[in-house]
């Protein structure tokens, strides 16, 4: 995954950064928002608690094809993020990766100041929150926590690392089946274990995994992991018969879903609806100079798609521009009118 150049991570010591627009969240909507702000000639800073750009795409399905991006019949998650970073890069956005936004204050002139967990504060003309589902914590594999980082993983950011390995994927959702299908051509073996015979994954994805000949072990749970310095094999127990099997495993992917949490944003005084941020047609929140876009927002008729997030963040940034400068036009102009 491409990492932005110039200043990808700010120093940890206390400092105050001045910026026109602070975007909180470096997922697809946030990255496109950085382009929209740069196109208008605005200075932009992007903050994200994750150490890389891309949000859930980078963390959970970088190799998965995405089919609902306008103009692309299919685009791999990793490539989409790389392209969004490249699109914004000519405008020199500053990235604060690995920084969590803790709380917000407003100065006497109304400008928001967002304080991060590493002592950095960002004073902005406006803030645009594009935090997706907020902070997401993987659901733990009870039998595998002792081997976390020693063969037990939650995500597969680089499938090549698992070449010629015995892999066991635990879970029944789309991520579990996607990773099983992705790893099958390069791993020595791939098995999928799920606690029931019913799957949350789409039927077409399940059929694809079956067609690849991947063994799917249902009504079973991983009861133990074994190995000296790292995982070497796992024990799988049938939930009804209690019979057990020992399977070779260099990698155990715990794809059991995640718990989403708005984290510190809950205490900012934002109007929330079912753990989402309420916005109006300008994508403005109830806080002055604070906007939001993407999956983290809620309004009547909301559709949670990446494509929708792109339109929302363009709306948010351009409305924020008129708040920063009341003389500025809402419409930014067409990109085709800009000189190369």
**CATH code, domain carrying 101:** 3.50.50.60
Question: Residue 216 — pLDDT band, cuts 50, 70, 90?
Answer: very high
- Alpha-carbon gap, residue 251 to 234, rounded angstroms: 10
Question: Residue 339 — pLDDT band, cuts 50, 70, 90?
Answer: low
Tell which of 204, 239, 256 closes a domain. Answer: 256
- Whether 82 is in a domain gets the answer yes
Q: Are residues 67 and 145 in the same domain?
A: no
Q: Are residues 36 and 179 in the same domain?
A: no
Amino acid 135: pLDDT: 67
- Alpha-carbon gap, residue 27 to 328, rounded angstroms: 27
Q: Are residues 281 and 180 in the same domain?
A: no
Strand order, beta sheet including 251-254? 152-153, 251-254, 166-170, 189-193, 215-217
Q: Are residues 127 and 183 in the same domain?
A: no
Reported as a single tens digit per residue, the pLDDT across 279-305 is 999 999 999 999 999 999 999 999 999
Q: Are residues 144 and 247 in the same domain?
A: yes
- Whether 195 is in a domain gets the answer yes
Instruction: Answer whether residue 195 shows pLDDT above 60.
Output: yes
Q: Are residues 47 and 106 in the same domain?
A: yes
What is the pLDDT averaged over residues 248-277?
90
- Whether 1 is in a domain gets the answer no
The annotated binding site for FAD is made up of: 29, 48, 56, 61, 101, 136, 295, 336
Instruction: Answer whether residue 88 shows pLDDT above 70.
Output: yes
- Whether 10 is in a domain gets the answer no
Domain residue limits at 273: 15-136+259-337
Tell which of 236, 256, 276 closes a domain. Answer: 256
Amino acid 14: pLDDT: 58
Average pLDDT over the chain, rounded to an integer: 91
Amino acid 252: pLDDT: 97
What is the pLDDT averaged over residues 15-42?
97
Amino acid 10: pLDDT: 42
Instruction: Answer whether residue 13 shows pLDDT above 90.
Output: no
Tokens standing for 186?
């390069």
Strand order, beta sheet including 244-248? 220-226, 233-238, 244-248
Instruction: Answer whether residue 4 shows pLDDT above 60.
Output: no
Please say whether the beta carbons of 176 and 196 come within 8 A: no
Q: Are residues 23 and 45 in the same domain?
A: yes
Q: Are residues 266 and 122 in the same domain?
A: yes
The annotated binding site is made up of: 29, 48, 56, 61, 101, 136, 295, 336
Reported as a single tens digit per residue, the pLDDT across 227-260 is 999 999 999 999 999 999 999 999 999 999 877 7
Q: Are residues 312 and 179 in the same domain?
A: no
Amino acid 5: pLDDT: 37
Amino acid 309: pLDDT: 97
Instruction: Answer whether residue 64 shows pLDDT above 60.
Output: yes
Please say whether the beta carbons of 28 and 22 come within 8 A: no
């Amino acid at each position: 995954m491409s990492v932005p150049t110039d200043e990808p991570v700010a120093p940890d010591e206390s400092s105050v950064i001045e910026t026109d627009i602070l975007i909180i969240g470096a997922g697809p909507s946030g990255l496109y928002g950085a382009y929209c702000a740069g196109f208008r000639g605005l200075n932009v800073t992007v903050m994200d608690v994750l150490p890389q750009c891309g949000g859930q795409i980078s963390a959970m399905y970088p190799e998965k094809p995405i089919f609902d991006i306008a103009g692309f019949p299919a685009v791999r998650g990793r490539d989409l993020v790389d392209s969004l970073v490249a699109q914004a890069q000519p405008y020199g956005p500053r990235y604060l990766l690995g920084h969590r936004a803790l709380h917000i204050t407003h100065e006497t002139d109304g400008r928001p100041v967002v304080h991060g967990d590493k002592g950095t504060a960002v004073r902005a003309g406006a803030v645009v929150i594009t935090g997706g589902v907020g902070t997401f914590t993987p659901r733990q594999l009870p039998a595998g926590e002792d081997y976390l980082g020693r063969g037990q993983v939650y995500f597969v950011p680089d499938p090549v690392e698992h070449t010629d390995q015995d892999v066991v994927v635990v879970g029944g959702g789309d991520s579990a089946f996607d990773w099983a299908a992705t790893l099958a051509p390069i791993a020595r073996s791939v098995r999928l274990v799920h606690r029931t015979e019913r799957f949350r994954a789409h039927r077409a994805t399940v059929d694809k995994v079956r067609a690849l000949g991947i063994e799917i072990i249902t009504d079973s749970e991983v009861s133990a992991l074994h190995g000296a310095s790292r995982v070497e094999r796992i024990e799988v127990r049938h939930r009804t018969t209690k019979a057990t099997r020992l399977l070779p495993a260099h990698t155990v992917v715990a794809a059991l879903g995640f718990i989403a949490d708005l984290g510190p944003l809950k205490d900012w005084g934002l109007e929330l609806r079912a753990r989402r941020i309420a916005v109006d047609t300008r994508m403005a929140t109830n806080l002055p100079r604070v906007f939001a876009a993407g999956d983290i927002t809620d309004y009547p008729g909301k559709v949670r798609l990446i494509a929708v997030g792109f339109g929302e963040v363009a709306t948010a940034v351009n409305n924020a521009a008129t708040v920063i400068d009341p003389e500025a036009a809402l419409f930014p102009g067409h990109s085709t009118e800009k000189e190369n």
